[in-house]
């Protein structure tokens, strides 16, 4: 099939394609012979100046390691004076608050609408992905927060006299 298409080309294009194929084949064969005959740019393994690691009989490698390990890695004048501050987990501050859950969806089942919440904080002892919570009106969200009302794009929650509105993501209008 290729010969049929090549035969339909003008004579000068046929010669050009044959020359390109011949040059590619010749370059491949030359490269193959180059590698097989050992004319590569890598030095033979015998010419490498590799030396085996040796430790004198009187030296203690464990003591040397401990001495190196105890030294500070970076030189700083104030390094010894700086006390290490414990790293606070920003999600720990959200525990028991509505912000610890993300409103991810609203689902209608029959005549009842449910809000889907994804916990941002993994429960202690749990492994894997956190489970999505499906809550209806009157269900407890977190702590004392209760789902008061669910509309088409937002959820209203209440704790005592305080009320908050959680909105679904809305793309910006252009």
What tokens does 157 get?
Answer: 């929650």
pLDDT of residue 30: 92
Instruction: Specify the pLDDT at position 102.
Output: 81
Q: Find how far residue 7's CA is from the centre of its chain.
A: 53
Cα–Cα distance for residue pair 134/138, rounded to 1 Å: 12
pLDDT by position in tens, the chain (length 174)? 555 587 888 999 999 999 999 999 999 999 888 888 876 666 666 666 767 777 666 777 788 778 777 776 666 665 555 565 665 665 566 666 777 778 888 888 888 888 888 877 766 556 667 778 888 888 888 888 889 998 888 889 888 888 888 887 666 666
| Closest-CA residue to 165 (of 151, 20, 31, 173) | 151
Burial of residue 74 (CB within 10 Å: 0-12, 13-18, 19+) is: exposed
Q: What is the pLDDT of residue 27?
A: 96
Cα–Cα distance, 134 to 113 (Å, whole number): 10
């Amino acid at each position: 099939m290729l010969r049929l298409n090549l035969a339909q080309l003008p004579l000068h294009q046929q010669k050009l394609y044959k020359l390109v194929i011949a040059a590619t084949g010749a370059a491949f064969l030359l490269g193959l012979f180059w590698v097989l005959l050992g004319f590569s740019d890598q030095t033979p393994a015998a010419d490498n100046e590799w030396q085996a690691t040796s430790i004198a009989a009187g030296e203690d490698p464990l003591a040397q390691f401990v001495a190196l390990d105890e030294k500070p890695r970076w030189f700083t004048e104030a390094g010894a004076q700086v006390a290490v501050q414990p790293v606070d987990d920003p999600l720990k501050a959200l525990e028991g608050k509505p912000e610890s859950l993300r409103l991810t969806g609203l689902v209608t089942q029959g005549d009842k609408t449910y809000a889907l919440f994804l916990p941002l904080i993994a429960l202690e002892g749990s492994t894997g992905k956190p489970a999505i919570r499906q809550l209806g009106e009157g269900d407890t969200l977190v702590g004392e927060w209760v789902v008061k009302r669910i509309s088409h794009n937002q959820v209203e929650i209440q704790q005592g006299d305080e009320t908050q509105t959680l909105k679904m993501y809305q793309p910006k209008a252009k």
